[in-house]
Chain A
């Protein structure tokens, strides 16, 4: 990043490619087959580009980088539509967590999967609406609660996820 501050395009391209891969692994490690991961990766790269001047060369890169990634991840969770994705993207229930492979750098960055650390009700709400792609009404019917309750549960699940991401960042 220090070289990118000076305008070194070759180094910057390599940095963005590596960061893109890192973000993708990070998201898949934490959220499994979350819908629109690629959108989130691109949003993060864009945000990194727009904010690159704010990285303090005297400080570590990681807190700066993960603040942006966490922010964009929460943004994605909030904005992800409740409309079901195309049929081939819909993930069978129960699948979608822990996709990382041994030796994956993302494994070293985070102590565990965010979704598995959420309360079961929150985890199910996020999985149904954001990963498996069910609409609010469908997810509510599967969970046996009202649509309004599911909406509220998803909002609280996102807040809990945000708190967990912050805790990870602060303890890192």
Chain B
């Protein structure tokens, strides 16, 4: 007979309400990706034109197409890792983390290598005056719904989940800027991809507060 545990169990049973399974991770992932892509493309279209010939370059410049595909993959894997880390037992913590980080590193690596071998002709064509602020603002807009979704689940590592959510949220506008702003590896690293790190830090800072449910406390043993 363990009195504190019995009391806790009685309290938890009293608190029991019917709950509904929130659904598969992949459904939430697709819903958020759709929102993030539409909101990012919409916001960029509303604030200025897309770079002339940017979409044609996908078929004309294979390296640019590969770079864009890696960006899309990084976005998807980061968002998936965010959601998987919010559902106990949904995936292996290490396995679900390592691929997003590797693909993100490959994406960044394209621009580092791009200083010598750019995937797309470097030019000022399509330059936006406030691309850093735009990327950051859109990232924050995307971060809200992703944190809302993860809060509905049960993140065991709130700081990590918050950081992943921040990185995913900022990676979408960063990828969209491939088409909306000028192509220059240095510019992309500083003005488009830096918000990924900044928003990841913001997510990590918000995670423990926003993603932790503190309705109960264990009293004693």
Query: Residues on A close to B: CB < 8 A?
Result: 4-7, 9, 12-13, 16-17, 20, 36, 38-39, 41-43, 45-47, 49-57, 59, 63-68, 71, 166, 170
Report B-chain residues with C-beta under 8 Å of the C-beta of A47. Answer: 154, 156
Select B18's contact among A6, A20, A38, A59, beta carbons within 8 Å: A6
Instruction: Evaluate contact between A9 and B13: CB separation under 8 angstroms.
Output: yes
Q: With A53-B20, A166-B94 given, is the CB distance from A46 to B8 under 8 Å?
A: yes
B16 near A9: Cβ-Cβ < 8 Å: yes
Contact (Cβ within 8 A) A52 B19: yes
Residues of B within 8 A of A65 (CB): 88-89
In the complex, how many angstroms separate the beta carbon of B18 from the nearest chain A beta carbon?
4
Q: Which residues of the partner chain B approach A20 to less than 8 Å between Cβ atoms?
A: 2, 5, 9
- Using CB atoms, name the residue of chain B closest to A71: B156
Instruction: Tell whether B46 is near chain A: CB-to-CB under 8 Å.
Output: no
Q: Are A54 and B22 in contact (CB under 8 A)?
A: yes
Is the pair B213, A45 in contact by a Cβ cutoff of 8 Å? no
Closest to A16 in B: B9
Q: How far is the CA of A64 from the CA of B216 in the complex (A)?
A: 21
B21 within 8 A of A: yes
Residue among A17, A36, A45, A52 making CB contact with B221, cutoff 8 Å:
A36
**Known interface pairs A36-B221, A56-B21, A71-B156. Does A49 touch B88 (Cβ–Cβ under 8 Å)?**
no
Among candidates B5, B86, B89, residue contacting A59 with C-beta atoms closer than 8 Å: B89
Contact A166 B154 (CB under 8 A): no
Among B18, B21, B92, point to the contact of A55 (Cβ < 8 A). B21
Cβ contact of B88, chosen from A43, A45, A68, A166, cutoff 8 A:
A68
A-B residue pairs in contact (CB < 8 Å), sample of 26 = A4-B16, A13-B10, A16-B12, A38-B2, A38-B4, A38-B5, A38-B221, A42-B221, A45-B12, A46-B218, A47-B156, A49-B12, A50-B154, A50-B216, A52-B19, A53-B21, A54-B22, A54-B153, A54-B154, A56-B90, A57-B21, A59-B89, A63-B89, A67-B88, A68-B88, A71-B157
Q: Is the CB of B5 within 8 A of A41?
A: yes
Q: Does B190 contact A (CB under 8 A)?
A: no
